[in-house]
Amino acid sequence: MKNAVRFAVIGGGSWGTAIVKMLCENVTELNWYVRTPETVAYIKHHKHNPNYLSSVELHNNQINVSSDINDIVANSDYLIFVIPSAFLHSELQKLTVDISEKIIFSAIKGIVPESSLIVGEHFHKHYNIPYKNIGVISGPCHAEEVALEKLSYLTIACCDKDKACMLATHLKSDYINCKTSDDIIGTEYAAVLKNIYSIAAGIAHGLGYGDNFQSVLMSNAIREMKRFIKRRHKMKRNINNSAYLGDLLVTGYSIFSRNRMFGNMIGKGYTVKSAIMEMNMIAEGYYATKSAFKLNNNETRTPIIDAVYAILYENKNPKKVFKKLTEQLD
């Protein structure tokens, strides 16, 4: 067991539960912020999260779980945020303690709506966190497979290689393989964009398009991702690496993908509101679509993002939009 630094997981969803499970393999003490006191009480009594990955048995002797975010943050060095991007701003407003000297890692796959920034940029601009103390945890990895202890891969990105390696050491296990990267901006944008492309894949499936078309869609998606990320942050990167292409593929095709499920419902005729209500889960790609569309502002060619935006936010007919999209892909 390693416990050189104090870790906190901020968020009680499926990814929060999965990262708690991973860290408990290698640390003796761990802080965990869960929003509601009722969930905290349930976890302490039953050793399971009642709402997410309920099959995972939690090691309560290692975990200090609390609904007091300030207490958790004050007593931790590394803060791993897994709160959905749509709710990050409101949760951060609860903070009264200074986090400017904390080390922040984000496993959030979205853009903060209030600032139109990816999470790392948001912390840097609004909380004065230097980029050397900001990192990203990306896939390809589904929380559900972590719960099942199926072999999974993570990419830990940070400008400070030592911090990336340190966190990777504490997350890896027999079923978790970790690699490091210095592309914090690119990997985070990739994590945002792949959710939009997963919605597109789901819409295509819901409309009745087959595997042949979806392979073309994914091929175009990775090239579109490359153009978008290059425009936002130009550096040498291999877009075919697992943190980019691998994460796109698992999110676009997996049965565990919430974004693909959401898109599939839209393709089958659900309204956005009814799909969100029936899923009862957060599809990060829904919020990411609006942010990415506005951020791009026609600076680079993004026909897939444009198509998903037209369907979700302009109430355009999915069948007509995808008919037009098929003529733009190659």
Q: Give catalytic residue positions.
A: 194
Question: What CA–CA distance (Å, rounded) separates 224 from 323?
Answer: 19
Question: What CA–CA distance (Å, rounded) separates 118 from 136?
Answer: 11
Of 170, 211, 224, 138, which is closest to residue 27 (Cα–Cα)?
Answer: 170
Query: What residue type is assigned to position 229 of the chain?
Result: I
DSSP structure class, residue 58 = P
Question: What CA–CA distance (Å, rounded) separates 141 from 191?
Answer: 11
- Print burial letters for 53-89: b (CB count within 10 Å at least 16), e (below 16): beebebeeebbbbbbebeebbbebebbbbbbbbbbbe
Q: How many CA atoms lie within 13 A of 114 on its CB side?
A: 14
CB atoms within 10 A of CB 10: 28
For the record, the structure tokens of 37 come out as 């006191």
Instruction: Kindly list the distances between the CA atom of residue 315 and the CA atoms of 98, 150, 310, 327, in Å, as whole numbers in the listed order.
Output: 43, 39, 6, 20
**Cis? peptide before 130, omega within 30° of 0:** no
For the record, the structure tokens of 175 come out as 């079923």
Question: What CA–CA distance (Å, rounded) separates 320 from 263?
Answer: 15
